[in-house]
Structure 1
Amino acid sequence: MGKSTGFLEYKREVPKDREPLERIKDWQEFHLELPEATQQIQGARCMDCGVPYCHSGMMIAGGASGCPIHNLIPEWNDMIYKGLWKEALARLLKTNNFPEFTGRVCPAPCEGACTVGLNEPQVTIKTNECTIIDRAFKEGWITPNPPQNRTDKKIAVVGSGPAGLACAAELNKAGHRVTVYERADRVGGLLMYGIPNMKLDKTKVVQRRIDLMKAEGINFVTSTEVGKDYPVNDLKKDYDAVVLCGGATKPRDLPVEGRNLKGVDFAINFLSANTKSLLDSNLTDGNYTSAKDKHVVIIGGGDTGTDCVATSIRHGCNSVLQLEIMPKPPETRAQNNPWPEWPKTYKLDYGQEEAVALYGSDPRQYCTTTKKIVGDADGHVTAVHTIEIEWVKDASGRMTMKEILGTEKVLPADLVLLAMGFLGPDDQLLEQLGLERDARSNVKADYGVYQTNIDNIFAAGDMRRGQSLVVWAINEGREAAQACHRYLTATSK
């Protein structure tokens, strides 16, 4: 805890962001920092709640409640309050390999389960976490820490997203010789190419961590797709164990008329190409789809949709609309969404905030579905036809979608981006390895065990659980490393 009466004495305060109309002119991170004394007061708001649900990491009603990696939140909040920053860092790193990532991009289920949040604005857990690790890097407290002794075991980790990096870090700590394979030209997976630079800086934050891991002895191999550039038979022969952390990379498609028109693409392609061009040439090479002077329609919500809004605005789009099939969330928790469930409430994320500042309104249109996409004689998209829907219960009690006649609209569109989530992992490697799949096409491996139907092959992260949060990927990467280590220890006897 922090101060026993701190939550009564102090109000929640988070750092201001750079003004929307200023930050849309560049691709730099938009978060600012609080003064040290102010941040310490925020640590004081952590109350003596008795049962700290903030680090429970439970699944309730299909969502995460509390921190999936079980961060020792009350402990490091107390240390922040007392100014014991090094001690806070030590407690934070016991559970989280990459707090500089989660402190920036995690939606903070810990805060949704904060006991203070029952009656007052919750503790600033996410900001506190980010402040600890950012200060540690600035002060030079984070340095390479390679293992003192090495085993003779070699492990391949396939995929360098948050699950793969966490798994590699833990196996390396145990002294094993770890090689991480990444099919892209840079390490980081989702962290590098799936999240825009203004939300997670690639050089100052992501590459800094990769360089640290290299210095600790982890070998990274990029531009190499296992099963294509590197045969699976060689993989099996060269390594004592394999951990698959390739993610859920199949984007959900939209089966409507006009889907194949030019100018209609998956959001992930739009975002990743933009980031690669930004890193390669500061967007001068033209190897990305620009939204400049275009009417942009984004179909789908979530973080990916928000990132598309923000990216399109930075390109200089004429307009941007985001179509959400679900109803607009309530301003406060609904009766069927009690604490400590994740609060399903309305929020204006950074991309929508920028759209409001630029165009005067939230770009999201709720309870709207796409009927068809139309184009011109050259086969390029020109408009999206939509209709409003309502959600009603059918005879079995299930909620179903019903179109509302007379609500049809035609939206001008020069660029249509599909941000409707992901369906599962790519098939090629899994089929070559002969791995069993679950009903959702993910690799079949029990949570907490992570072992596939092949003894020395493990799976973790979105490739095993389906599309999820970065913090769940870190959780699974860490636990899969433990399972792999136990297997290697047992087989070496």
Structure 2
Amino acid sequence: MGKPTGFIDYQREEAKERDHLTRLKDWGEYQGRLTDEQLKTEGARCMNCSIPFCHTGIDINNQVSGCPLNNLIPEWNDLVYKERFEEALDRLLMTNNFPEFTGRVCPAPCEGACTVSINDDAVGIKNIERAIIDRGFEEGYITARIPKRRTGKKVAIIGSGPSGLSAADELNQQGHNVTIFEKADRAGGLLMYGIPTMKLEKAIVERRIKLLTEEGIIFKLNTDVGKDVLPEDLKRDFDSVIVCTGAETPRDLNIQGRELTGIHFAMDYLTKQTKSYLDEKDTPLSAAGKNVVVIGGGDTGADCVATAIRQGAKNVRQLAITPAFPNTRAEGNDWPSYPNVFREDYAHKEAKMIFKREVREFLTETHAFIDNGEGHVQALFTRKVEEISTETGVRFEKVDRGDDVIPADLVILAIGFVGPKRPLLERFGVELKNNRIDAEYQDFRTNVKNVFAAGDARRGPSLIVWAIQEGREVAKAVNAYLTSEKIEQYA
């Protein structure tokens, strides 16, 4: 513990954001990095608790509390305070394969479980994590780790998102020959195309892919398993196959007028924008000059708001059927559970700067899409609702005189995902349970011999830290399978 009274002496330090009006003119990352002095101060705020809940990764009320990767947070906080950055990097990389991703896009359940946050602002764990890994790359501490031996075993991984990449990294370092099959033209999965560049610049993803390639991992891009490569060929040619395809099937809104043009899923919208940016071409799906309505109140919806603003939208509104969270923890949402409190995302700050108002509207249900007479959406018919608690959960009931018509030339559905896409899994013969691949945690085996599954395809839509954690754990299971050792030995 670098400074015993640090959490009393210092207030939380925030990384400086780029000027709102300036950053809206480009697609660069909106957030900067803490200075060395700020890092030292923030590291000093860590209490070095006797029981550091920040890295427990336990489930409370169906939400993760603390880091599922069990990052050694108090240890590297202390090392940063003492300006021993290379040692801090070593401790960070012991548990997290890709801190440059989590330090940018993870919602930081670690901070919600920080002991300081009981009475004050949490330690800025996420900002410290990002600074450690960025400095590691900049100062040359991170170089390719070429395995000294090869086992001769071959592993195929389907999907190059965070779970697939972390599984590949772990198995490659065990000496197995790993090939990743990715249907897109660039590796990274949602890291590449599902998260906008202003949150995660793609050079950061490409840098990691380049490093993994140097270390011996083979990437087969533009390769759609089930079409370009047959599942039976993978099962024949590889000693093990891991399915890490994510939960790609979007949740739809099957209401009147859904067949109208101008209504798109969030991932389609974000992917087209990122691809056009990287290819230096105009996007085929732009919000320029349009009234945009984003349906869905989560992080993906916020990313769509920020994207629409940069594309030059005439107006943007974001609708959520759920109520706004309270400003402080509500009863039943006690520490160290994840704090469900009202937050202003980067996108909402930007929207206020442009439109001079809050763009989010809560307890609002979209009841129908309205035709412009030519088969294109021109408006939404919405209803105000109230949340009713019942013994089996909650339901939403219409409020009298809450109807409204909202102009919309472009509607983006950002209401989550329901599970992995079925055709590939059916070709493999893999069984599903509750719209997820049926494979037990820590074992990760499917019903098909030598085929494993991990990440969102197995556990359902979740956080990036869970995806990386599952990739690490499935690698242990596959390594045990390939070396004929008990999985329990690696648990």
**Residue type of the partner of 2:465?**
V
Would the aligned equivalents of 1:28 and 1:198 in 2 still touch at CA under 8 Å? yes
SS in structure 1 of the partner of residue 135 of structure 2: helix
Give the structure 1 partner of residue 168 of structure 2: 168
Would the aligned equivalents of 2:317 and 2:359 in 1 still touch at CA under 8 Å? yes
Would the aligned equivalents of 1:179 and 1:218 in 2 still touch at CA under 8 Å? yes
Q: Which aligned pairs between 1:267-416 and structure 2 lie closer than 5 A?
A: 267-281=266-280, 285-394=281-390, 396=391, 398-416=393-411
| CA distance, structure 1, for counterparts of residue 389 and residue 44 of structure 2 | 46
Shift in Å, 1:491: 7.6
How many residues are treated as equivalent by the alignment? Answer: 486
**Residue type of the partner of 1:60?**
I
SS in structure 2 of the partner of residue 273 of structure 1: helix
SS in structure 1 of the partner of residue 396 of structure 2: strand
Q: Which aligned pairs between 1:53-452 and structure 2 lie closer than 5 A?
A: 53-203=53-203, 205-281=204-280, 285-394=281-390, 396=391, 398-439=393-434, 441-452=435-446
Would the aligned equivalents of 1:333 and 1:344 in 2 still touch at CA under 8 Å? yes
- TM-score (normalizing by structure 2): 0.98
| CA distance 1:491–1:482, shift in 2 (3 Å) | closer
| CA distance, structure 2, for counterparts of residue 147 and residue 80 of structure 1 | 29
Would the aligned equivalents of 1:2 and 1:74 in 2 still touch at CA under 8 Å? no
**Residue type of the partner of 2:268?**
N
Kindly provide the CA deviation profile for residues 375-430 of structure 1, in whole angstroms up to 9, marking residues without a partner as x. Answer: 21211110011011001134x45321100021100000000000000000011111
Would the aligned equivalents of 1:2 and 1:47 in 2 still touch at CA under 8 Å? no
**Residue type of the partner of 1:32?**
G
Q: Which aligned pairs between 1:4-15 and structure 2 lie closer than 5 A?
A: 4-15=4-15
Shift in Å, 1:3: 1.8
| CA distance, structure 1, for counterparts of residue 43 and residue 148 of structure 2 | 35
| CA distance 1:226–1:491, shift in 2 (3 Å) | farther
1:459 aligned to 2:453?
yes
- TM-score (normalizing by structure 1): 0.97
**Residue type of the partner of 2:445?**
Q
Give the structure 2 partner of residue 22 of structure 1: 22
Shift in Å, 1:260: 1.4
Would the aligned equivalents of 2:381 and 2:404 in 1 still touch at CA under 8 Å? yes
**Residue type of the partner of 2:433?**
D
**Residue type of the partner of 1:173?**
Q
**Residue type of the partner of 1:370?**
T
| CA distance, structure 2, for counterparts of residue 198 and residue 122 of structure 1 | 24
Shift in Å, 1:14: 1.1
Q: CA RMSD in A?
A: 1.1
Structure 2 portions without partners, runs of 5+: 487-491
Would the aligned equivalents of 1:58 and 1:68 in 2 still touch at CA under 8 Å? yes
Would the aligned equivalents of 2:155 and 2:176 in 1 still touch at CA under 8 Å? yes
1:484 aligned to 2:478?
yes
Would the aligned equivalents of 1:270 and 1:288 in 2 still touch at CA under 8 Å? no
Kindly provide the CA deviation profile for residues 21-67 of structure 1, in whole angstroms up to 9, marking residues without a partner as x. Answer: 21111000111122212211110100032100000001110111000
SS in structure 2 of the partner of residue 243 of structure 1: strand
Moved over 3 A (4+): none
**Residue type of the partner of 1:266?**
F
| CA distance, structure 1, for counterparts of residue 186 and residue 88 of structure 2 | 32
**Residue type of the partner of 1:269?**
D
Which residue of 458, 468, 475 maps to 1:474? 468
Kindly provide the CA deviation profile for residues 140-184 of structure 1, in whole angstroms up to 9, marking residues without a partner as x. Answer: 111111101111100001000000000000000000000000001
Kindly provide the CA deviation profile for residues 54-90 of structure 1, in whole angstroms up to 9, marking residues without a partner as x. Answer: 0000111011100010000000000000010000000
| CA distance, structure 1, for counterparts of residue 158 and residue 172 of structure 2 | 15
